[in-house]
Amino acid sequence: MGSASNKKHLGLADVVAGESAICTVGKAGKGLNYRGYAIEDLATQCGFEEVAYLLIHNRLPNQQDLTAYCNKLKSLRDIPSALKTVLETIPASAHPMDVLRTAYSLLGCLEPETDFSQQTEIADRLLASTPSILMYWYRYHKHGKRINTNTSDHTIASHLLHLLRDTTPDSLHQQAMNASLILYAEHEFNASTFAARVAASTLSDFYSAAVAAISTLRGPLHGGANEAAMQLIQRYPSDNDVEPGLKQALANKEKIMGFGHRVYKIADPRSPIIKQWAKQLVNTPDDRRIFTVSEHIEAYMWQKKKLFPNLDFYSASAYYFMSIPVSLYTPLFVCSRITGWAAHIIEQRNNNALIRPAANYTGPDQQCFIPIEQRT
């Protein structure tokens, strides 16, 4: 019973699944706005905390609002001792996304949502504590150290990098991480956000909806593209190796991660911003090699396939230049996207209807039931 129409909407492509006032993606084939503000303005003129406030609290803060909000987030960074014990128990071999999924579930038991009036408080709590959760587990298992997750850093970007390195990061790295967090914060009805809204539509608790989002981002077709992009870039020792390597990869029908996009048709507006940060972060001969290889990959993919780099491609080298372990690339996505997920959970609850789509049945027509003793 399949049809051309059904195939057109495979994976719900181009299907309008709801209304939202949070974000527009792909306007004119390349635009991105958070609550009406262009990503170019937000990523170059705002701190991540301003954007988080915009998404979760529905307006840009004034200076007094922002100061109070940053102080509030600082007060919410530390994590309970019971959660630290569980993070120490989780194996070092665990996928970091599984760590975050488990930690969110446990935090939901330790600090449960008993009324929906708590939702913005929980959103802020998860925003503030996610870097602490991730880095506590990572530093304990990789370096054998129980870190203090209650740093005095003023921003989430600085706090995150401080916990990773056990030292205050330099200004350039803080600014680059700030921009990255803004760029990854929100992206309309992507797979993880839609999963969060489906869970929220059942009137489940906030943590469960966030866990649904993490579980969806865990899949390699949604999260992990920046990790895969770094693995691609590291294949090529020099820019001279790019063309023959990519030519062979395309002949083998390999998916080249970090290029093209489901919604954008002309360009990803986030890519030039993170590319500029990656360029500024170049510091060593190896950094220069990685950036040159990246540019050659970008040029070849456009020349041969007319595919543009998406946010994930140059995010990979930007993170690499900041000495962030590749295994943490996708979990850092969560540190940012929890803002967008929270905004959508809140919006879904404010005008809720159970999300229960229909399916086009493609199985057999009704059949005669055969008793078991008569079946061959």
Specify whether 344 is catalytic: no
Q: Which two tokens stand for residue 111?
A: 């600090």
With tokens 């949604």, the residue in question is: 222
What is the identity of the amino acid at 224? G
CB 250 within 8 A of CB 256: yes
* 29 in Cβ contact with 265 (< 8 Å): yes
Neighbours of 111 (CB within 10 A): 17
Cα(363)–Cα(360) distance, integer angstroms: 9
Phi, psi for 93 (deg, rounded to 5): -80, -5
Cα–Cα distance for residue pair 31/38, rounded to 1 Å: 8
Q: Which of 124, 205, 268, 312 is catalytic?
A: 312
Q: Of the listed 57, 222, 239, 287, which one is catalytic?
A: 222
What is the chain's alpha carbon radius of gyration, rounded to the nearest angstrom?
22
Supply the angle between the helices 285-305 and 271-281 in degrees, to the nearest 10.
Answer: 150
Instruction: Give dist(CA 89, CA 104) in Å, integer.
Output: 15
Which of 159, 162, 187, 261 is catalytic? The answer is 261
Phi, psi dihedral angles at 33 (to 5 degrees)? -130, 140
* Active-site annotation holds for 9: no
DSSP letter assigned to residue 33: E
Residues 24 and 35: their CA atoms lie apart, in Å, by 8
CA pair distance 370, 376, nearest whole angstrom: 10
Active site residue 95: no
Q: Which residues pair with 259 in a beta bridge?
A: 309
Which residues are known catalytic residues?
222, 261, 312
